[in-house]
Amino acid sequence: MVDISTKISGIKLKTPLMLASGILGTAGTSLKRIAVFGGASAIVTKSLGVEPRSGHKGPTIVKSIAGGLISAIGLANPGYEAFKEELDIAKEGGVPVIGSAYGFSFREYIEVAQALESYGASAVELNLSYPNVGKTGAFYGKHTELSYEVVKAVKESVNIPVFAKLTANVSDIVKVAKACEEAGVDAITAITSLEAMKIDVNTGRPVLGNKVGGLSGPCIKPIALRCVYAITKEVDVPVIGCGGITTGEDALEFIMAGAQACQIGTGILTRGITIFKKIAREMEEIMEKQGYRNLDEIRGIAH
Amino acid sequence: MRVTKIKEIIRETERIRTFVFEEKVDALPGQFVMVWIPDVDEKPLSLSKHKGDLTITVLAQGPFTNKMAELKVGDKVGIRGPFGRGFKIIGDNLLLVGGGVGVPPLAALADKAVEEGKNVTAIVGAITASELLFVDRLENIGARVLTCTDDGTAGKKGFTTDLLRDLLQKETFDSCYTCGPEIMMVKVLEQTKAKGIPTQVSMERYVKCGIGICGHCIVDGTGQRVCKEGPVFRDIEVEKITEFGKYRRDASGTKVYFRNR
Ligand SMILES: Cc1cc2nc3c(=O)[nH]c(=O)nc-3n(C[C@H](O)[C@H](O)[C@H](O)COP(=O)(O)OP(=O)(O)OC[C@H]3O[C@@H](n4cnc5c(N)ncnc54)[C@H](O)[C@@H]3O)c2cc1C
Ligand SMILES: Cc1cc2nc3c(=O)[nH]c(=O)nc-3n(C[C@H](O)[C@H](O)[C@H](O)COP(=O)(O)O)c2cc1C
Ligand code: FES
């Protein structure tokens, strides 16, 4: 019998396959559906801020090459206060709920993180990396010192585990990961979507309402995998791999690169909401065939 | 994203225009497309013909749709889709109940139903005579059309739901299809449920990605995506959608409650 359960910062996961932030995560009922019907082992909310945000004008999404998407939703969210009741519904899904927080200042990050803790989130993931909104994520995640300080500030303000979600649009992601570790982060999520754009040649105009956005999906998997490999080599805190994971083979690659768990987003597009169940089955099949009994046995073996 | 040109513009009423594009479609009535005006925005609009030239019918009511009203033949727009789940034709004797700009997808449905040899009765309502949509088009394909206006300037004075009540006292149908203001659809469902007529409703929620990934069009109760599992839902599904007739979420995801009931 193959066992693919895992644990991250003391949070038990029946499989390593979590829902990534910003995917079907703006309402509790949706998160619950992904847990119950989809089979996700944990669900991460849409990134929440202090105030409601309508986000960017459309198009907010355009399909890209090789199953990729370029998106610029623009952190549309109802603000954390609206999520008190959404989180209660999400928790009915019976799996850990992780609140994603962003802020325009340290104080805002702290405010959102504390609220999410009081609403019963199992952990908070800091969105340091969202490339679309001029002043926030990119600003923090692209500066080693700011990343350190925001993680430290939030760590000092909440008791639940704090995850930091990183961008690969930096010269050295390992440096940022190390800074987060020094600041006391409990886990690192790598990576968020990569800065990208699409131009329509009929009109000569950028397609996205925000002109630029973030690339996600299978086309970024090799980049994400290499980031996880590089980070786990230098950093001791657990790493959650994210970026293009669509099959059981993809997920196993991330585990073998050293990831503790995985997050899945764009894969839902091609494989539907039940992708979490499908990938779990595929992982078990491959592991069975290769004679692997559990994830600990293969974690990081590519090093 | 495909870019196409406007081939024809038909002024249906003062604020409603039909746009015919150079691109062809073969879709289900009830499905929608995302229409992009470069440098302006992109919004969901229902197909008002299911086959042939891509055709949409738009009520000018805000920044994007007002901009659409300014477009000219030959102008370029981007199209994504068709997306979503369309109407499913059940039985031979169909009843359509449409209010305002909810009529276009029903007109597409009527086309397909008539093609398949079904009997179509359509109740079409609007605020006033000049806003009544597609009465001629529906009559021309052989549908029986009953009209009403809030102010009595055409057809019966009153709401589609009043006409429906009268009709269902005399006749019955194999299935019913409704699209329009949500409060109207709530009342249609109440009546058809009482008579045991299977009903499909087309719902509107704030659509961003249109492909079922962002979650902005979610409905509470089931967590379904209007852009993917909808916009057409069956009555048994709607019963589980707890927000139906009560509220919808705006662009930020904040709940906005419907006025009056
Ligand atoms: C599946 C679907 C099919 C539709 N079909 C038609 C149609 O055939 N003809 C037609 O005239 N209209 C249709 N609509 C409504 C149309 O999308 C809105 O009228 C349009 O988006 C308004 O944009 P605006 O900038 O002109 O007005 P705004 O002032 O921005 O909004 C006017 C109203 O439209 C709503 N709205 C705005 N943006 C969106 C959005 N992205 N998604 C959903 N609702 C929005 C607002 O909540 C408000 O109630 C459809 C909507 C959906 C979801
Ligand atoms: C539509 C969309 C919205 C997203 N919103 C967020 C967000 O709010 N916060 C965040 O941290 N990441 C967000 N992301 C990034 C994803 O969580 C994920 O890191 C990225 O898409 C790569 O994974 P994937 O290839 O499996 O989708 C979003 C991605 C997409 C496609
Ligand atoms: S609009 Fe994005 S999921 Fe429906």
Kindly state whether residues B10 and B75 are assigned to the same domain. yes
Kindly state whether residues B70 and B145 are assigned to the same domain. no
Looking at the structure of chain B, the number of domains it has is 3
Pairwise CA distance, residues A242 & B145, whole Å: 55
Kindly state whether residues B49 and B98 are assigned to the same domain. no
Kindly state whether residues B149 and B242 are assigned to the same domain. no
Which among B60, B83, B106 is the end of a domain? B83
Give the distance, in angstroms, between the CA of residue A235 and the centroid of all CA atoms in the same chain: 18
Kindly state whether residues B35 and B114 are assigned to the same domain. no
Ligand 3 nearest-atom number relative to CA B227? 4
Among B1, B67, B205, pick the best mutation site for testing chain A contact (most A Cβ within 10 A).
B1
Give the distance, in angstroms, between the CA of residue B183 and the centroid of all CA atoms in the same chain: 14
Q: How many CB atoms lie within 10 A of CB A66?
A: 10
pLDDT of residue B9: 98
Kindly state whether residues B137 and B242 are assigned to the same domain. no
Distance A137 CA to ligand 2 centre (A): 13
pTM exceeds 0.90, yes or no? yes
Give the tens place of pLDDT for each residue, A233-259: 999 999 999 999 999 999 999 999 999
Kindly state whether residues B186 and B232 are assigned to the same domain. no
Sign of CA dihedral B224, B229, B230, B234: negative
Kindly state whether residues B119 and B196 are assigned to the same domain. yes
Peptide bond into A206 cis (omega under 30): no
Q: Which B-chain residues 67-126 have CB contacts (< 8 A) with chain A?
A: 76, 78, 80
- Looking at the CA of A271, name the nearest ligand: 2
Residue B261 has pLDDT above 80, yes or no: no
pLDDT of residue A65: 87
| Structural domain span for residue B243 | 203-261
ipTM (interface pTM): 0.94
Pairwise CA distance, residues B21 & B36, whole Å: 13
Kindly state whether residues B77 and B156 are assigned to the same domain. no
Q: Which two tokens stand for residue A230?
A: 């590089």
Pairwise CA distance, residues B209 & B186, whole Å: 27
Amino acid at position B60, single letter = A
Kindly state whether residues B251 and B172 are assigned to the same domain. no
Residues from chain B contacting residue A54 (CB–CB below 8 Å):
250-252
Give the tens place of pLDDT for each residue, A105-114: 889 999 999 9
Mean pLDDT, residues B111-139: 95
Which among B155, B172, B201 is the end of a domain? B201
- Per-residue pLDDT band for B260 (boundaries 50, 70, 90) equals low
Kindly state whether residues B188 and B238 are assigned to the same domain. no
Kindly state whether residues B108 and B41 are assigned to the same domain. no
> Does B251 contact A at CB distance below 8 Å?
yes
Amino acid at position A221, single letter = K
> Does A69 contact B at CB distance below 8 Å?
yes
Q: Which domains does chain A have, with CATH numbers?
A: 6-297 (3.20.20.70)
Residue B57 has pLDDT above 70, yes or no: yes
Residue in chain A lying closest to B221 (CA): A29
Give the tens place of pLDDT for each residue, A118-172: 999 999 999 987 544 545 445 777 888 889 999 999 999 999 999 999 999 999 9
Pairwise CA distance, residues B27 & B105, whole Å: 11
Closest approach of B220 to chain A, Cα-based (Å)? 6
Give the tens place of pLDDT for each residue, A18-45: 999 999 999 999 999 999 999 999 999 9
- Looking at the CA of B100, name the nearest ligand: 1
Contacts 24+ apart (CB under 8 A), A171-177: A173/A227, A173/A230, A173/A231, A174/A230, A174/A231, A174/A233, A174/A234, A174/A235, A175/A144, A176/A141, A176/A144, A176/A147, A177/A231, A177/A234, A177/A235, A177/A239
Which among B66, B83, B100 is the end of a domain? B83
